[in-house]
Amino acid sequence: MSGADDRRHVVVVGAGPAGLAAAVAARGRGARVTLLDASDELGGQYWRHLPASRPAARERILHHGWDAFTALRGRLAADAGCEIVTGAQVWAIERPAPDAAGDAAAADDAAPPAAVVHVLVGQVDGSQRAPLTLRPHALVLATGAHDRTLPFPGWDLPGVFTAGAAQALAKGERVAIGDRVIVAGAGPFLLPVAVSLVQAGARVVGIHEAARVPGLGRGWLRDPLGLARAPHKAAELAGYVSVLARERIGYSTGSAVVAAHGTDRVEAVTVQRLDASWAPIPGTERRIAVDAVCVGHGFTPRLELPIAAGCRIGSDRFVEVDADQGAGPAGVYAAGEITGIGGVDQALAEGEVAGHCAAGGTPSDAAIAPAVRRRAVAHDVAGRIEAAHGIRPGWTGWLRDDTLACRCEEVPVGRIRATARAARSTDLRSMKLATRAGLGICQGRVCGRTVEELLDAESPACGSPAASPTPAAPGPGSDRRPLASPVRLGELAAAYDRRDAGPPSLAAAAPGVDDPPGVDDPAPAAEPPRDPAAPTTPAPPRTTDRKDTP
């Protein structure tokens, strides 16, 4: 071990904009950093790119803020105090034992670990992955979010893609999902997705935004002077609009894809006008020939690890954070999309604050004052996005009883409704056991929120409480998963066998990387108390866009 081992050890989970910013900020305060990401490349979804083995000739023109990414990546790659581990699946987080602090004090150990982080390193589809256990003094969670897609008849046909998947293929593989593609859903994210599809060679036949013009105006134009604090957003929007104009791509508001048609794959869709509640307006149906559908109605934060770490989850289903991005348990911080989805600016600002404070700083330090100001502006933008594009309850009006709610287990909407009425219960666990909804390969990540909303609609007739968490009855809902990613039984057994032996060598798990910190590493000074004068910042509003929004 080098002299750097005397520093405070910070583990950052996720190497998107928030995670990269957190790692750089923690190193700036002298902490020893381990950066984990499941992908083979850093950057997350926002900066998804071709691998280094086959780089793009002009990668910069395909991304916003590419220079910022290369600067962050370059600083970490050249820093011996930061261990970067890609292909790292964090499958579980354990909280410290209740007596850990007492044991640490008895052993003259100034600070117990913030958490025990269990990792498997290697290709997820490989036959062997190396187990790794980390016991950091501080943990920053920047796990991001995945697409939220509202179901519709035919959404299980080949050729229907989530917006995030379509963009990932376009950015990461230069693959277009089809020749004639329709983009539909809600949120500014539809614009960069359409542009990515055009750059990959697809013809986008139209963009259909579910929100209507009055709602968009009320959301975006509230307090116009406040919006003026983010002029770069207007510049991004202008760039997207110029591509749409050049390619003659229409943009319709108050409109949605309500059905997909085809035999072996998508051949056409039905689009329909929506009212202010997103209920379809009869007589406005229109059929459009396409060979691919790209749909996205916002994003769902990845909460498995925050829940396991004991983070506070608000009734809006995002992690609640303090002014220092602390998420509840001592030494655990959260940043980026899991706290609220407001764009790359929010992710970078929150990541910088989280990394700085995880390394022993406070939110009142002058070094991060610019990041704190940027965070406030980004939170304002996040609120506008939610107000303008947030999901409205009328969308269930385009469902049929035979529409699949859970595609993994092929559970139709009608079965969920009928089971709830027959059992006079909207309990999520009972519904899962009775219908198998949520028991498939995605473990409810795709269908969980949809099932909750269907059950919420049935709760008055059932005389049962709502399935979704509420301010009066908070909880994880369908987001709790003891194992955050698939683990083979042999891997689980191997991890258990090594518990008493301490964490394995990171050098063995990922060649070329230094040994990880272990439980026997020198302890740093105790975590400083959080600045009592720093105001508590509530979690930013729930929004329906991700970090590459205009």
Highest mean pLDDT among 266-270, 301-305, 406-410, 540-544: 266-270
* pLDDT tier, 470 (very low <50, low <70, confident <90, very high otherwise): low
Residues in Cβ contact with 492 at an 8 Å cutoff, skipping those fewer than 6 apart: none
**138-141: strand order across its sheet:** 82-85, 32-36, 9-13, 138-141, 332-334
Question: What pLDDT digit, counting tens, does each position of 472-529 carry?
Answer: 555 567 788 888 888 888 888 877 666 544 444 343 333 333 344 343 344 444 444 4
Mean pLDDT over 242-269 rounds to 96
pLDDT at residue 276, rounded to an integer? 96
- Do 3-145+300-385+488-509 and 149-297 have matching folds? yes
* pLDDT > 70: percent of the chain: 81
pLDDT at 35 over 90: yes
Q: Which of 152, 164, 444 is nearest to 294 (CA)?
A: 164
Looking at the DSSP bridge assignments, the partners of residue 206 are 182
Higher pLDDT, 293 or 540: 293
Question: What pLDDT digit, counting tens, does each position of 414-437 carry?
Answer: 999 999 888 887 788 888 889 999
pLDDT at residue 14, rounded to an integer? 94
Tell me which amino acid residue 171 is. Answer: K
pLDDT at residue 256, rounded to an integer? 98
- Own/partner contacts of 514-520, CB < 8 Å, gap of 24 or more, are 514/1, 514/2, 514/80, 514/83, 515/1, 516/34, 516/83, 516/132, 516/134, 517/5, 517/9, 517/32, 517/34, 517/134, 517/135, 517/136, 518/135, 519/113, 519/135
Question: What pLDDT digit, counting tens, does each position of 371-399 carry?
Answer: 999 999 999 999 999 999 999 999 999 99
pLDDT at 533 over 60: no
Sign of CA dihedral 260, 279, 337, 442: negative
Q: Which sequence spans correspond to the domains of the chain?
A: 3-145+300-385+488-509, 149-297, 394-478
pLDDT at residue 4, rounded to an integer? 40
- What is the average pLDDT score of the chain? 84
Looking at the DSSP bridge assignments, the partners of residue 181 are 204, 292
Q: β-strands 286-289, 268-273: how paired?
A: antiparallel
Question: What pLDDT digit, counting tens, does each position of 153-164 carry?
Answer: 999 999 999 999
Question: What pLDDT digit, counting tens, does each position of 46-58 carry?
Answer: 888 777 766 666 6
Q: What is the pTM of this model?
A: 0.84
Question: What pLDDT digit, counting tens, does each position of 323-335 carry?
Answer: 999 998 999 999 9
Please identify, in words, the CATH class of the domain defined by 3-145+300-385+488-509.
alpha beta
Mean pLDDT over 240-246 rounds to 94
Residues in Cβ contact with 209 at an 8 Å cutoff, skipping those fewer than 6 apart: 184, 185, 186, 190, 216, 251, 252, 253, 254, 255, 389
Q: Does domain 149-297 correspond to CATH entry 2.40.50.140?
A: no
Could you give the CA distance from residue 185 to residue 210 in angstroms, rounded to a whole number? 6
Highest mean pLDDT among 115-129, 199-213, 233-247: 199-213
pLDDT at 467 over 80: no
Question: What pLDDT digit, counting tens, does each position of 172-226 carry?
Answer: 788 999 999 999 999 999 999 999 999 999 999 999 999 999 999 999 988 888 7
